[in-house]
Amino acid sequence: MAHTTEPADTTDTADTADATETAETAARGGTVSLADLEARAAARGAASGYGHDALIVCDRLVRVYSTDGIEVQALQGLDLLVERGELMALVGASGSGKSTLLNILTGLDVPTAGSASVAGCDLLNMDAATRLRYRREIVGFVWQQTARNLLPFLTAHQNVMLPMQLRGGGPGGRRARKSRADELLDILDLAHCRDLRPAQLSGGEQQRTAIAVALANGPDVVFADEPTGELDSSTAEQVFAAFRRVNDELGTTVVIVTHDATVAEEVRRTVAIRDGRTASEVLRRTEVDEHGRESVVAQEYATIDRAGRLQLPRDFTEPLGIKERVLLELEEDHIQIHPDRA
Ligand SMILES: Nc1ncnc2c1ncn2[C@@H]1O[C@H](COP(=O)(O)OP(=O)(O)OP(=O)(O)O)[C@@H](O)[C@H]1O
Ligand SMILES: [Mg+2]
């Protein structure tokens, strides 16, 4: 009933073909019949397309940079799904590909291979006019460098007005735009900063103004690349609180990219990127016990890519001496992974 795989990488296990074969092997000799497994897969809606109802879909995304004949594979077949209304973070070491991914999702860069779509827009096939509209209306972004987010000679209110003016048209004209800018400044606790220029604002106020600017045209999703990288921890906490409020009150999907793993405490889902691929994720949920006390439970999951590959954490493989291959055993409701003792 056991089945041995020989992965290309040291700790990657099982591709789809192997997994199917394992299931069949188990079905022949074990307690689970193939018909059972097929029925379960059908019940789970296996026929529907990958990420058909997700807001952001990255499918085997590849980005290769070539400079002076040297190739850098910044993204190596990255899969990611983000549902509408999520507040999530992408974390990873320096150089893992976070900014590369964000540049693609904000329409600044085009992937080498794979596919990516946001709110139904195919990011590989957009002409220049569609790309401009996408960047103005579908997505908003907040960068780490405050200077990149705001124009220094405009007040906070004028900065928030600017994307709406660039877009032009829109319902209600100038008065509606003005009151929307005030509304956004209010939501972000910035009413007192309305007529101040960026240089007169604190770092946290500047970043919160940047969030208001990103929201000006009511985007489906706001992306932020290290938005708290230049802030101390208590100011950073205020900026995270601002993202949470925007997510709660406006329902805007928020994706925050950072190398700071403590961000996991600020969001509901954290996806870790390693070597240009998603490797694991942490989900946080609030549980209420029988006495009505609330506690936050965080659970870490390994992610399985589209080809069925799974990366085993080194903390698990090293103590067991797992190196090139493992034995897999399919049980009724789980899979066992054993070190190869042969
Ligand atoms: N324009 C470019 N030309 C060549 N290589 C690049 C370019 N941009 C990024 N890279 C390389 O791609 C890889 C991923 O870079 P990326 O900037 O996406 O990492 P990151 O996860 O954002 O890191 P950090 O946390 O330091 O911001 C790195 O090896 C980087 O050197
Ligand atoms: Mg980066």
Ligand 2: centre distance to CA 270 (Å)? 16
- Which backbone phi and psi does 244 adopt, to 5 degrees? -65, -40
Chain centre to alpha carbon of residue 201: 30
For residues 135 and 11, state if they share a domain.
Answer: no
CA dihedral (85, 224, 50, 73) in degrees, to 10, reads -170
Last residue of a domain, one of 242, 258, 274: 258
For residues 14 and 125, state if they share a domain.
Answer: no
Last residue of a domain, one of 258, 276, 291: 258
Residue from 62, 90, 100 to probe ligand 1 pocket by mutation (most atoms less than 8 Å from CB): 100
Residue 300 is assigned to a structural domain of this protein: no
pTM comes to 0.80
For residues 39 and 134, state if they share a domain.
Answer: no
Residue 268 is assigned to a structural domain of this protein: no
What are the residues whose beta carbons fall under 8 Å from the beta carbon of 209, sequence distance 6 or more? 149, 150, 156, 159, 160, 185, 188, 190, 193, 198, 201
Residue 298 is assigned to a structural domain of this protein: no
Ligand 2: centre distance to CA 92 (Å)? 9
pLDDT tens digits, the chain, 342 residues: what are they? 444 443 334 334 434 444 444 444 444 445 667 677 667 666 654 445 777 789 999 999 999 998 888 889 999 989 999 999 999 999 988 889 999 999 999 999 999 999 999 999 999 988 999 999 999 999 999 988 877 889 999 999 999 999 998 887 666 688 888 999 999 999 999 999 999 999 999 999 999 999 999 999 999 999 999 988 888 888 888 899 999 999 999 999 999 998 777 777 788 899 989 888 887 888 887 788 888 887 777 788 888 877 788 888 888 889 998 988 999 999 999 999 999 877
For residues 169 and 318, state if they share a domain.
Answer: no
Ligand 2: centre distance to CA 98 (Å)? 6
Last residue of a domain, one of 231, 258, 285: 258
- Closest-lying ligand 1 atom to the alpha carbon of residue 93: 25
Ligand 2: centre distance to CA 93 (Å)? 9
Ligand 1 pocket by Cβ (under 6 Å): 65, 67, 72, 74, 92, 94-100, 259
For residues 89 and 157, state if they share a domain.
Answer: yes
Q: Are residues 100 and 109 in contact, defined by beta-carbon separation less than 8 angstroms? A: yes
For residues 33 and 79, state if they share a domain.
Answer: no
Range of the domain at 233: 74-258
Instruction: Choose among 108, 153, 165: nearest CA to 132.
Output: 108
Per the structure block, which two tokens stand in for 134? Answer: 């996408």
Residue from 65, 70, 101, 143 to probe ligand 1 pocket by mutation (most atoms less than 8 Å from CB): 65
For residues 247 and 106, state if they share a domain.
Answer: yes
- CA-proximal residue: ligand 1, atom 19 (nearest): 95
Q: Are residues 171 and 113 in contact, defined by beta-carbon separation less than 8 angstroms? A: no
DSSP string, 224-239: EESTTTTS-HHHHHHH
Per the structure block, which two tokens stand in for 136? Answer: 């103005």
For residues 102 and 214, state if they share a domain.
Answer: yes
For residues 37 and 124, state if they share a domain.
Answer: no
Per the structure, the count of domains in the chain is 2
For residues 78 and 38, state if they share a domain.
Answer: no
